[in-house]
Copies of this chain bind each other. A is one copy, B any other.
Amino acid sequence: METISENACFGGVQGVYRHKSDSCRCDMTFGLFLPEEARDENVPLLWYLSGLTCTHENAMTKAAAQGWAAEHGIALVFPDTSPRGEGIANDDAFDMGQGAGFYVNATEDPWKPHFRMWDYVAEELPALLARNFAIDAERQSITGHSMGGHGALTLAMNLPERYRSVSAFSPICNPASSDWGRKQLSGYLGADESKWARHDASLLMREKGFDGPMLIDTGTNDQFIELLRPETLAEAIAARRQQAAFRMQPGYDHSYFFVSSFMEDHIAFHAEALWT
């Protein structure tokens, strides 16, 4: 593992690291914020999964998360959103291929050799973090934005006991019924829609839900809201009697200005689950 940079940040350290990924068979880069407390003890970890076109860097610089994480003594990890580089499949569209891994293990060509973001985020990266940093693997929670909100919700529901809490900012809620989803799930997983179900938050909510608290924020003026389909997840949450706060935030759009506006709430929400 190679250290790309380390900067003092809110009393702790914002680092960027690169490593050879076995899952993705390429070099992968991630950001990690460690609060001051990590000098002396293992600290809880909050995952932040990013959206389409993002690298590890976007949320790290624009989501205004480190200050609140420092206040609560929580580490933050910012993974990349796909494998990258020459010799790795790509697509001209912004919403497919590099920058658009959708947090699945691709089974179809040309994606399957490298696009294994599920394994990367669910298995490889957590193990690497626990080995190399002052992280308490027993205390993890997860959040994300847009495609990353989809990732956070689907990982949380598929991996019971892994995360103590889950939240999302303007998540893709029902990819199996959206143009943000059908193209990608069919491309990565093939035409058999039964294989998509475990990567659809609304279908997972109907089937199993999440054993812990859930917080979801979406802007009423989100320019992509027809693609996000929050109404499908809202209905499923209430029908399951899932512990949750589902909020429609007036006037906000899909940008990091929205994400940063509610970051304080989300980190306080996760802190309550991580520190009790």
Contacts and interface: CB of A to CB of B under 8 A. Distances in A.
Contact of A242 (B235, B244, B248): B248
Question: Chain copies in the assembly?
Answer: 2
A76 B238 CA distance: 30
A213 B239 CA distance: 23
Interface string A226-239: 00001111111111
Contacts of A230: 238
Contact of A234 (B213, B218, B234, B243): B234
B231 A238 contact: yes
Contacts of A220: 241-243
Contact of A241 (B233, B239, B245, B248): B248
Contacts of A213: 250
A100 to B, nearest CB: 25
Nearest to A246: B246
A218 B234 CA distance: 13
Interface string A88-117: 000000000000000000000000000000
B248 A225 contact: no
A247 interface: yes
Nearest to A225: B241
Given A234-B237, A235-B235, A245 B247 contact: yes
A245 B237 CA distance: 13
A249 interface: yes
Interface centre among A225, A236, A247 (most CB of B within 10 A): A247
A169 to B, nearest CB: 15
Nearest to A230: B238
Contact of A243 (B236, B241, B243, B250): B250
Nearest to A228: B238
A239 B218 CA distance: 12
A94 B77 CA distance: 55
Contacts of A234: 234-235, 237-238, 246
A130 to B, nearest CB: 29
Interface of A: 213, 218, 220-221, 225, 230-239, 241-250
Given A231-B239, A243-B249, 6 more contacts: A225-B241, A233-B238, A235-B235, A241-B248, A244-B247, A245-B248
21 contacts: A213-B250, A218-B238, A221-B241, A225-B241, A230-B238, A231-B235, A231-B236, A231-B237, A232-B238, A233-B238, A234-B234, A234-B235, A234-B238, A234-B246, A238-B246, A242-B248, A243-B250, A244-B248, A245-B245, A245-B246, A246-B246
